[in-house]
Amino acid sequence: MSSQQDLDILRKLFQRDYPEAFAIFNLDNLEKDYLINQFKEQAFKARINQYLTGQTHAGKTSFNNNFLMKKMPSTGNQDCTDFVAFFDLKGNLRSFDTPGVNSLYDYDNINRVALCLPQKPKASRAAKKAKELPFNKEPGTPYQESDVFMTKDYTPCIDDPKAEPIEMGYEVGQWQNEPKVKPDIIFYIVAPHQLYLNEDREYYETLLDRWGDIVIPVLNIHRNPDGTIKPTPQNIQNARQGITEIYQAVFNTDEEPPIFEMNCLEGDGIAQLTEYVCQILPPEKVGNFGNVIKDDLKKYAQKQRQENYYHNLAIISGLLSRTTVKDFDGRSSLLHTTASALMFYGMRTFKSAEALDIDSSSINQEADKIKQQKAQEKFKYTNIERDKEIKKDVPVYGEIKTSKQVVVPKMKERKTRGFLWIPKTELYEDNEVVTLTDTSYGVVDYKSEVIDTVKEVIGQSKESIGYEYNKGGYEAISFLLSIGLAVELFSDAENISSFNGCIEQAKLIVERKLQPIKSKIEQLVNSDTGEKNLIVLLDQMLLG
């Protein structure tokens, strides 16, 4: 997943409660806002007529819509403007939006009529069958002095999104002889990704022949949804080369023409363009506005950018500190996703999407470390059992034989000699031990007999079933603020450190600022109602 996707994910998460989070405030945005406010209040000393012309779908209407609450219609398609639109700002600026060049025949000629250029004399058969034009002008024919074309005054729409423009028809002759609509400056808008073709070169030559050096080429660098530029480097080079060749041929010079690059949709680059305009306009018309741009604009924009950036850092780090650092979206922790988004956001704020070429391995390692610190492994315990026999001693019955010895008298014979030693036998009584045996029936033994079987726990097995994560806390705040400040340091043209070097510098700055309020931070992190107070505390700390 890309850093842009990480940024989009975080924006969605914060969108409900903090829609301003991750809003990109680069210098071009802020300078544009400052200038637009100046144009709406006080700017030029005398009236300046500013015209926008160029290819169809180049971005002319988008440029002017930066000044309006209710936008001029711009479909993004070719041939979407069939009238001359304008509005008056209080700062003495009137801006005109013309139909696209090389669009439908009649639309193209409205552009040429408005700028007093030669019209296309011949229309194709298809142009003659084009839709009906206002004021019944016949399609596919050049405008005559008495023909009328449509204008729309968007001045009421500057501050009121519900207002409607005022429509008015102008005769060609009346318009071209009216000093109040004569151009003071003409922005020739080119979209390089649409290619710069021979018809574009011819039109630019016609512009220069008629209006000279008040024509300023502007390359509108369209961007893709992920913030990268749409035209290729070769597209841009081809447009620059074509413009330069025509300029040098018309003015018979080897000098390079002033060519400005901007993003008309966002207004990026309007400050540099305005600064140049102030240099080439008559001083009596510019007044003090040129000095205001030089002295105040950069300081204002840099200060506002830093304040807005720090406020968003406070929101992002404050919210993440109160959120568990669990795995997010089945891919990585929310802390990893936020770190990636924050680096991309910072680079978009201070540089551009193309400048994001940072080795983020150390950032990921730090996020891993915090995640491990906040992790508590969860276990499942299972009893280890075995079968245990319940036994009982039972009697064994059988014959019981008993014996006893008794002494009984017994007559015995013995040989002896009598008279004259004649052998004879005589009887005598003697005691004799006799064993008497008795047999009975009874318990002869006991034996062990199993009468039941039960389960016996002999231990427990331990199985990991994952992790439970605590809130990011103080560590998440320190980590994310260090990234945010490191990107700011890394983007400083005077800083020669690597990004990892900037990270180390930022850690020291953040620790010095956070340490005095660490206990307060930890209290607010764990408070059910501490979210907004924590953000305010971090905001004040960063700006202090």
DSSP 385-430: EEEEEEEEEEEEEEEEEEEEEEEEEEEEEEEEE-GGG-EEEEEEEE
DSSP string for residues in 449-494: EEEEEEEEEEEEEEEEEEEEE-B-HHHHHHHHHHHHHHHHHHT-TT
Asked if the structure places residue 14 within a domain, the reply is no
Asked if the structure places residue 260 within a domain, the reply is yes
- Domain end residue (candidates: 232, 260, 286): 286
The parent domain of residue 367 ranges over: 303-374+470-543
Answer whether 55's CB lies under 8 Å from 78's CB.
no
Are residue 271 and residue 168 in the same domain, yes or no? yes
Asked if the structure places residue 80 within a domain, the reply is yes
Q: Which residues on neighbouring strands pair with residue 428, listed in sequence order?
A: 412
* Of 312, 308, 278, 311, residue with least CA distance to 293: 278
Are residue 136 and residue 241 in the same domain, yes or no? yes
Asked if the structure places residue 495 within a domain, the reply is yes
Return the residue matching tokens 């950069």. Answer: 298
Are residue 410 and residue 497 in the same domain, yes or no? no
Q: Which residues on neighbouring strands pair with residue 88, listed in sequence order?
A: 94
- Domain end residue (candidates: 433, 465, 497): 465
User: What total number of domains does the chain contain?
Assistant: 3
Answer whether 315's CB lies under 8 Å from 353's CB.
no
Give the pLDDT of residue 186: 97
Asked if the structure places residue 211 within a domain, the reply is yes
- Output the pTM of the full model: 0.62
CA–CA distances in Å: residue 516 to residues 252, 317, 477, 537, 538: 68, 17, 14, 12, 12
Are residue 212 and residue 73 in the same domain, yes or no? yes
CB atoms within 10 A of CB 262: 23
Q: Give me 120's structure tokens.
A: 């296309």
Return the residue matching tokens 């966002």. Answer: 266
- Domain end residue (candidates: 465, 486, 507): 465
Asked if the structure places residue 421 within a domain, the reply is yes
Furthest C-alpha separation in the chain? 202
CATH number of the domain enclosing 267: 3.40.50.300
Residues 6+ apart with CB under 8 A from 407: 431, 432, 433, 434
Are residue 308 and residue 410 in the same domain, yes or no? no
Are residue 370 and residue 431 in the same domain, yes or no? no
Give the pLDDT of residue 75: 46
Are residue 362 and residue 394 in the same domain, yes or no? no
Give every residue of the chain whose pLDDT is below 50, as ranges. Answer: 1, 75-77, 353-354
Are residue 264 and residue 118 in the same domain, yes or no? yes
Asked if the structure places residue 29 within a domain, the reply is no
Give the pLDDT of residue 1: 45
Query: Of all helices (H) and strands (E), which one includes residue 377?
Result: strand 375-417
Are residue 398 and residue 260 in the same domain, yes or no? no
**What is the spatial distance between Cα 275 and Cα 203, in angstroms, rounded to a whole number?**
26
CA–CA distances in Å: residue 363 to residues 299, 341, 368, 480, 484: 32, 12, 9, 10, 12
**What is the spatial distance between Cα 1 and Cα 329, in angstroms, rounded to a whole number?**
11
Asked if the structure places residue 15 within a domain, the reply is no
Measured between its terminal Cα atoms, the distance across the chain in Å is 36
Are residue 330 and residue 416 in the same domain, yes or no? no
Are residue 456 and residue 479 in the same domain, yes or no? no
Are residue 332 and residue 382 in the same domain, yes or no? no
Answer whether 537's CB lies under 8 Å from 521's CB.
yes
Q: What are phi and psi of 33, to 5 degrees?
A: -60, -40
